[in-house]
Structures are given as C-alpha cells and as structure tokens.
Structure 1
C-alpha cells in the first residue's frame, strides 16, 4: 500500500480497498453495497455496508486498538446502559497493504447531536448523566492485571501540561490567556479522584452522540474507553450544553467541586488541542472548540 509522503505514513484508504477487505475476510457480506460516510471524524474512515452494518478503518496508529477493545467490552456493557452503543460483529485483519485491525459493526440509525438541537435541553442533559452513572457503576475487570491494562488507562491532566500551556500561549489574542492559565492551574491543583476507579467513555463529545426524533438515542466511538477518573467525560457539559442544562447535568450526576474543576481542565485542554490542530482548515471545528473553551472558562 502506498503512503502519502515520507512524513505522513497514514495508509491511503479507498472504497476499492474496503471492498477487497470485506469480500475476502467476510464473504457473507460480499454482495452488500459500500457507501462512504462523510464526514466521519479524524480517527476512522467509515463505510456503510448494506443497510445494517458499518465498516470502520483506522486512519492513523493512534486508533488501531479500538476494533479489539470495542469487540471485547461493548457486548458486556451494552445490557447495562440506557442508550444504545455499537454492536461489533467482526474484527478484520491487516491485508492488501492495509496495516491494522479494522471493524464491522451493526449500523446505528440517528443524527449526530448538535448544540442547536440539544444544547438547552435539560432532559438530554439528565439522560447523559444517567448514561454516565450506569457506565460508572458497571463492574470493573475481575483481575488486577486487567484493571491495570494500558489500553484501559488514561494519563492525568498533568501529562498535558506542556502542550496545553503552549496552546494557551499560541492562542493569545483569540482567547483570554490569563483566564485560561488560571483555570489550567486550578485544574492541576484540584484534588484527584480518591474513590474506586470507574469506567469512562474517554471521548464524549457531540460527534459521538446520536439522536432520533429529537432525543438522545446512542453513544458511539469507544476508542477511549477506560477505567479511572471520570472527569474526562465532563467535557460534554462544555461542548454541548448551555448553562442551564449544564447545571441539570451536574446535579443529576452528583459531581463534586474537585471533579468538576478537573472536568473543566479536560474541556480546556482538549478544546485547545482541537482548535490549534484543525481551526485553520475547519470552520466547523473552530466554532465548536471556541464554544467549548469559552464554556469551560465560565464553568
């Protein structure tokens, strides 16, 4: 398989490649049409396979563990969660020059959640709180070895300190540098998670929420699924919700002040990372992350 440049070693993913992978590894679906889903996010190229399946091929090395992780954990989690989650039906192997595992899952109907549709909805906020509560209550892996697995852990906010401070400096004049620095210092100084580790989604933003009939219906993309401090999942409060629905969300979830402050830090760090990476090429991401950063500053 050819690559784009010597500095960008991401594989070139085409419909022809996806067709060959499906037809050879899952011949029972060889007759089903493939349709590219666009846009599909930064981690995967996604094709709809027939009417009931999807094919997800990682774009970059950072996403290569998701197929196996979702296949292992989502069938266990799904019966305990109040919103639908993907149902993996097969993990494909590298072939035809494509270097990584890839996935086939059941297709979930729905529209991607938007601020315009759900931002002011306290009902949706409480629904999300219920989803996270159920996720956090799901039993952790039975053995200490499983609980400590690298693919189920995420580093603390402090691991993002250098990059976040660089992004704060790099966006001077666009956002309030002093306010961002103050929030970041508060988040780093906030007491850590002193309870038992719990499950978290790890990448909970509007693009990973689906709606049907104006109501939340599914949560997707569990590549960041892990066990530890759930503060990272509070980012959704600042990327989706208004001040009123955010208050309802926090109350329903029962978030203490330290965890909320760490959540604001996660929202700031991830918002800045996405802004500095994509704002120049995507007005949509620029608008979304600007909203998220400013909401995190407000709290």
Structure 2
C-alpha cells in the first residue's frame, strides 16, 4: 500500500537492472529488498556490505550529493557507526529519479529490538547527540524548512493533524498541550548541528548498545532540542531521565524537545494509520509519554 500521493514504485527487477546497468562491478552480487518501516526511501541490499536507497518521491542529484556530504561530515564527527556514501545512480529501468548507494550497517533497528527500558542505551544515544552537537556549523544556520526553528510556525500543520485525529486521539487535551508547548521561549543555547530524525527506525541495536545511526543526510544546524525527540520516541521515564542527565539539559531545552516530539508524532498517528501501522503506533506511544510527563509529579 502506498504511503504518499505520487509515490514512486521500485521493484526488485528495477533495482537489479539499475545496479547491473550503472555499476557493472556489482553484477555478481545479489540484490534483495530490505523490509523497513521507513517513509522516504525503498532499501535494497547489494551483497553484504552495500545498500541502495531509492527515494519514494522524485529528487535531483544535487539533493543526493548534499546528503552524501552530510553523511561524510557526520561519519568524521562521531564514533558511532553511520552509513558512508559510495555512489549516486541515475534514472533508468522505469525508475525516474536519481538514487544512492551507501555502506550497510549491521544491527537490529530499535523498532524491533526495543531499548525503551535501557538506561545504558539512553546514555549511548546521548553520547551520539553530544558528538553531533560538537561538529562545527562553519557559519551555517537553520534552513528555515522543517522542524528545528520556530515552534509556532508549525501551528497550521499541528491544527491539521488535530482535526485529522478526532477519531483517534484525545484532541481537546492535545490541543491544550500544544498551546503551551508552542509558546516556549527560544532555546538559550542557540543553534547547533543536529541529526534531525532520531526515530527508532534510524537507530541500530546490538548486544543492548547503540550499534549505528541511519538516515544521516539531514545533518544540519537547528535548535539543539530537535535531537531530544529520541528521548520521547524511545525511552520510558527512567532511561529518559538518564538521557537528560547525560546531556545536562535545562528546563527550556528539555521542554522544547518534548514539543518537537509532539509535532512529529501528531503527524505519524493519522497519516500512517492505514499505510504504515508501525509508524502510527510509534507516534501514539510517543504522545502517551509526552502527556504522562505533563501529569507526572
């Protein structure tokens, strides 16, 4: 079932043909579809060490080159394994967009290997966020697009989500909560580098530890509280507090992280309720944690 209007179809035969035509050095390697709950790319393994990423919405080469540069920058700035760019392919075999190849990282995604009760995993993730924040912005600033800037600029989107969720969630309560969250003061620390999407599906678990971080092309300057969304998407109260203490978050920063997690989760619940139930459940669970924190002593 398609998740998005105008979503591109990518079959195994297409992926095989594109690899064979454009990268003949990999013709001898098996190509196989990788089941994921992602919403941006279709993923195909190439052998044991590579992954082809086919955007579900048409993009241009410049955007994939920017993602590759972000991936290189992140790989150089943290000790946690992250995918490294290998190649960019072009349209063909019935697929109309450029696509990319990265290194494959082993590990189980956190959607299936839930680390929600693990304070050790929470401290691992906090260490990764610290590393990302230490990357030099080199004068870059928030692009103005997406999450990571002014909370109130998302009012129209949140209101749309609330209207779409009237049969799914306690909308009056959530509307009151957003009214408080969107009025939070600006983060006193200014902009820092952020990963931007620390969702369970972008985190790899092995032996109870953080084994890798995926979807790294969004590395960019933003409100540093943006990367606190992982605390709400992943952890129950105890490990979430361990994450906060490891980063030394003040009250404003912590609440802004809760606000960004709220904004993202409101969209997940209704938008994917039929087409990607796992993502919808993640959003619902995150909202439950956010509401529970509001009432906790």
The aligned runs of 1:120-139 (5 Å cut-off) are: 120-139=117-136
Structure 1 gap segments, 5+ residues each: none
The structure 1 residue matched to 2:160, chosen from 159, 166, 180, is 166
Give the CA deviation at 1:277. 0.5
Give the CA deviation at 1:40. 4.6
Structure 2 gap segments, 5+ residues each: none
The structure 1 residue matched to 2:80, chosen from 80, 83, 87, is 83
Distance 1:292 1:40, change over 3 A: closer
> What number of residue pairs does the alignment pair up?
291
* 2:36 paired with 1:23: no
CA contact (8 A) 1:115 1:240 kept: no
Tell me the residue number matched to 2:233: 239
Deviations 1:189-215 (A, max 9, x none): 111124342111111110000011222
The structure 1 residue matched to 2:36, chosen from 14, 18, 39, is 39
Deviations 1:48-88 (A, max 9, x none): 00111110000114798663233112223213213110011
Distance 1:152 1:32, change over 3 A: farther
Cα RMSD, aligned residues only: 2.6
Distance 1:89 1:150, change over 3 A: farther
Distance 1:66 1:47, change over 3 A: farther
Distance of 1:152 and 1:175 partners within structure 2: 24
The structure 1 residue matched to 2:249, chosen from 236, 248, 255, is 255
Distance of 1:26 and 1:116 partners within structure 2: 34
CA contact (8 A) 1:208 1:220 kept: yes
SS of equivalent residue, structure 1 residue 189 = coil
Distance of 1:151 and 1:25 partners within structure 2: 33
Deviations 1:153-187 (A, max 9, x none): 85432232112123224434643334322321222
- Structure 1: which 4+ aligned runs deviate by more than 6 Å? 62-65, 150-153
